[in-house]
Amino acid sequence: MNALLSSALQAAIREKFWYVSEDSRGMARIFFDSGAGSLVLKSAHAALERASRLSSYGGGDFPDSRWADEVVAEARAAVADLLNAPSPEQLFTGESATAILRRLAEAILPALPDRSRILISATDHNANVDPWRTTAASLPSKQLDVQLVRFDPKTGTMDLNHLESLADARVRVVAVSHASNVLGAENPLREIRHVLHRAAPEAWLIVDGVHFVPHGPVDVQSVGADAYVFSSYKIFAQRGLSWAYANEAILRLPHYKLTPAPERPPESWEWGFRNPADFAPILEVVEYLAWLGRQCFPTSIPGTPSDRRRWVRLGQQAIRQYEHELVRAMLDGVDGTPGLRALEGVTLYGAHEPEFDHLKEPTFSFNVVGCSSGEVVAWLWQRRRIAVRGGNHYAVETHRQLGVRESVRASLAHYNTVEEVRAFLQALAEFLAERTRG
């Protein structure tokens, strides 16, 4: 067990989440499907229930209306701390990351010069692929050039050599995931930004952070992201609300809004009534990360109470450090149980060599020779009550470059344990042995 996350602290963490060891019907299980949606913090769910009692619209002069405004404002401030955003006023929300990325594409692409180039990473969920393609196609007079940037199969990260070969002064947008939801690999955003500074200084870097945000620190300023998008339900809260940071130049672009809606961002980018119940849970998530930072680094005492941003970052660092232990256990094995790297008949995608383990989040996609992803998923659930997922995971281009149509994905988070990893690896080895005998 990682020194930061003692057995007692790991138990305390697991106690803070719903359904960490059994499902909603009380059935014992191992949950390795966080990539499709994380488990929910109990405190986040309680905050949602409290705020759900509010029916008042913000902007009024009476207490319930003012409370609605306060919940929204506090949530924006919390997300600013989570992302190290310059201001809460640079954060707007939408019903999904897909919707937000489409909204960004519809604002950005019409403003570009004719014959501009848009580069899209093949590591990406289609939420950060299709909006750019379809919006560009809807503007035929501009002759926008949309191209795909390959990933390095050894690391699972964007191929920087391929990016450099495509990057020229015509590039105006690079759309890339912070981490691939299939390959579990963290893209080198700073290096990507440096390539753009040299070859395409006017290009905007649009980052889909949905799969990365529960796994490590996010600093939109240091990585040079011009826009950064994530969803609450991937980071321990509920479905129904996604978030975007955008730089001031993007926020000033013409965009769709109702005539009487506010003229200033962030509200001008938000469509319809903002339900405070959707905002309340993310505040609890940020407070939880700050709590974790204080638990893991008790001697790192901030100077003022306003240093929540620092505590959050320390909590995220603790998660990252612990999850790298889960990565090593999954790949190398546990106490004599072989890891994914050693299992015969398993084709593992993304980072293969130990030297690249530091690039991985605890997301592992693979196929078993001669089996569909559905067969593996069904066996693991029916025989060992282990929840994983099969299919293309809405990342068609990633699978296309891999040369397959689907994969099995086991996606973990910091509430999982090495003991659960051992049980998963033993179950997969048993499945392989049955296939060999059968």
Task: Give the tens place of pLDDT for each residue, 306-349.
Answer: 589 999 999 999 999 999 999 999 999 999 999 999 999 999 99
CA 47 to chain centre: 22
- Rounded CA separation 415/250 (Å): 36
**If you classify domain 7-40+309-437 with CATH, what class do you get?**
alpha beta
Mean pLDDT value of segment 125-154: 98
Torsion of CA 2, 22, 243, 129, to 10 degrees: 90
Domain(s) of CATH 3.90.1150.10: residues in the chain: 7-40+309-437
Side chain identity, residue 398: T
Average pLDDT score over the chain? 95
pLDDT class for 305, splitting at 50, 70, 90?
A: very low
Domain(s) of CATH 3.40.640.10: residues in the chain: 47-283
Mean pLDDT value of segment 152-177: 97
pLDDT class for 274, splitting at 50, 70, 90?
A: confident
Question: Per DSSP, what are the bridge partners of residue 21?
Answer: none
pLDDT surpassing 70 at residue 67: yes
Q: For residue range 78-123, what is the model confidence (pLDDT) as tens digits?
A: 999 999 999 999 999 999 999 999 999 999 999 999 999 999 999 9
A 10 A CB-CB count for 226 gives: 22
Structure letter (DSSP) for residue 150: P
Which residues, in sequence order, are CB contacts of 130 under 8 Å at separation 6+? Answer: none
- Rounded CA separation 254/209 (Å): 24
Mean pLDDT value of segment 49-61: 84
pLDDT surpassing 80 at residue 47: yes
> CATH code for 47-283?
3.40.640.10
pLDDT surpassing 90 at residue 243: yes
CA distances (Å), origin 2, targets 122, 317, 421 = 33, 12, 15
Mean pLDDT value of segment 352-375: 94
State what percent of residues in the chain have pLDDT above 70.
Answer: 97
Listed as own residue / partner, the contacts of 202-205 with beta carbons closer than 8 Å and 24 or more positions apart are 202/169, 202/172, 203/167, 203/171, 203/172, 203/173, 203/174, 204/108, 204/172, 204/173, 204/174, 204/247, 204/250, 205/174, 205/176
